[in-house]
Amino acid sequence: MSADVRRTVDAVWRIEGARIVGNLARLTGDLGLAEDLAQDAVADALAQWPESGVPQNAAAWLTAVAKRKAIDGWRRRERLDERHSAIAHDLASREGGVPGADDVWEPIDDDVLRLVFTACHPVLAREAQVALTLRLVGGLTTDEIARLFLLPVATVQQRIVRAKKTLSAARVPFEVPDPGEWAARLGPVLGVVYLVFTEGYAATSGERWMRLDLATEALRLGRVLAGLLPREPEVHALLALMEFQASRFAARTAPDGRPILLADQDRSRWDHAQIRRGEAALERADALATARKTGRGPYALQAAIARCHATAQSVESTDWAQVVLLYEALGRLAPNPVVELNRAVAVSQATGPASALLIVDGIAASGALRGSHLLPSVRGELLARLGRREQARAEFAAAVALTSNAREREVLQAKSDAL
């Protein structure tokens, strides 16, 4: 029974956690306090629901209990000021303040939006933003976050506690950013979601090549953001990018767990329903950008590249010239050696390995990507296609030595062995 209640409480938290904490944070003006109060309410639920049964409107119950705890705390410290009496009044307007089936649960989307921007506030380090976003916006338990990131639970707990302290010390208001800051503040929000996705899509460490559960969480967060910020082109573009990339999951891994590279994937195994969701999201992003008279942003360009792959019947029939153009546009928007390297790969398909090698050598000469396995692995690939086998083998060996993902190492070794 109690295990069932635990799972039900987790499910309610999953669905309503963000709105419960958002609501409490707006009323108390303190995100840390709001989260503590919500957790105390969850503890009460775990203690009481096995006896009383799960209330009809569990979210309203949790919110009311948390509010009552807020009042009790202030009463104890005799700090019942105006803000607090507003909550007290709100509680008293219910029948005797007893939460029950009659409670109206009318959460406000704006509270969740405030929560998103606060959890991704620039005073926080990226890993703190990630933990807080998954915890508060995604409604994941600390245990779940730890499992997803292969971290000890204590580490995640500590990150969340520290993040709340940092927000409080910096007196970060529980608000959405001012219009002037909007663009600068939206960036980290999208960055957090995409980081969670990429960590799942191409696990940077460990035995596993993909961690689907992480990528699924990121997609869910992306869809939530698209609902909260329906007018933001880059939000839809990020969602499109993730949908396109995730559509290849089933085809990316062989039965024995080996990764299968794009060129070798059975494209009939791609999730075409998901590709269509990606296309719809990208069309939305493009339409919004056009209406604003802005060009495509970095996520829209990446999504457009991903769409070229997702809608091509084969590697050969991919519109590589278009992919090259999109990478050029992306490089102009945000110069980055990884983008440049990807452009080189596209050029090798569009016009051949020799011109691509020039680009790669340019990156190497600049000193960028030193220490990354990406540069030697692409260079090895190009040299192999040019028939320079010895040099190619040396590059693959260098790449093998630099990667920390066991599965990726196998792929590189296999390429080298095939020469």
Partner 1 sequence: MKFMLIMRATEAAKAAYEEIDFAEVINAMGAYNESMIKAGVLLAGEGLADDLSTAFVVDFAGETPIVTDGPYGEIHELFNGFWIIEVSSKEEAVQWASRAPLGAGSKLEVRRVTDMSDFAGHEDNEYIQKEEGWRAEQAER
Residues that bind partner 1 (CB under 8 A): 7-8, 10-12, 14-15, 109, 216, 219-224, 227-228, 250, 255, 266-274, 276-277
Minimum distance from residue 410 beta carbon to partner 1 (Å):
18
C-alpha span between 307 and 240 (Å, rounded): 9
DSSP state of 253: B
Torsion of CA 380, 381, 384, 388, to 10 degrees: -40
Minimum distance from residue 164 beta carbon to partner 1 (Å):
24
Quick one: how far is CA 66 from the chain centroid? 29
Q: Which has the closest alpha carbon to 359: 371, 372, 373, 347?
A: 347
Tell me whether residue 135 or residue 343 sits nearer to partner 1 (CB atom). 135
Minimum distance from residue 223 beta carbon to partner 1 (Å):
3
Strand partners, 253: 259
Tell me whether residue 246 or residue 400 sits nearer to partner 1 (CB atom). 246
How many CB atoms sit inside 10 A of residue 42's CB? 20
Q: Which has the closest alpha carbon to 120: 167, 181, 171?
A: 167
Minimum distance from residue 273 beta carbon to partner 1 (Å):
4
User: Which amino acid would we find at residue 101?
Assistant: A
Determine contact, residues 109/176, Cβ cutoff 8 Å: no
User: Which amino acid would we find at residue 332?
Assistant: R
Tell me whether residue 208 or residue 393 sits nearer to partner 1 (CB atom). 208
Minimum distance from residue 108 beta carbon to partner 1 (Å):
12
Tell me whether residue 275 or residue 347 sits nearer to partner 1 (CB atom). 275
Minimum distance from residue 216 beta carbon to partner 1 (Å):
7
Quick one: how far is CA 166 from the chain centroid? 22
Tell me whether residue 162 or residue 269 sits nearer to partner 1 (CB atom). 269
Residues ≥6 apart with Cβ < 8 Å to 246: 197, 201, 215, 216, 219, 271, 274
Minimum distance from residue 226 beta carbon to partner 1 (Å):
8
Tell me whether residue 12 or residue 136 sits nearer to partner 1 (CB atom). 12
DSSP state of 241: H
Residues ≥6 apart with Cβ < 8 Å to 213: 148, 200
Tell me whether residue 57 or residue 377 sits nearer to partner 1 (CB atom). 57
CA angle 164, 115, 37 (to 5 degrees): 55
Structure-block tokens of residue 120: 């991704």
Minimum distance from residue 147 beta carbon to partner 1 (Å):
12
Tell me whether residue 132 or residue 359 sits nearer to partner 1 (CB atom). 132
C-alpha span between 10 and 115 (Å, rounded): 19
Tell me whether residue 303 or residue 347 sits nearer to partner 1 (CB atom). 303
Residues counted in the chain: 419
Minimum distance from residue 43 beta carbon to partner 1 (Å):
18
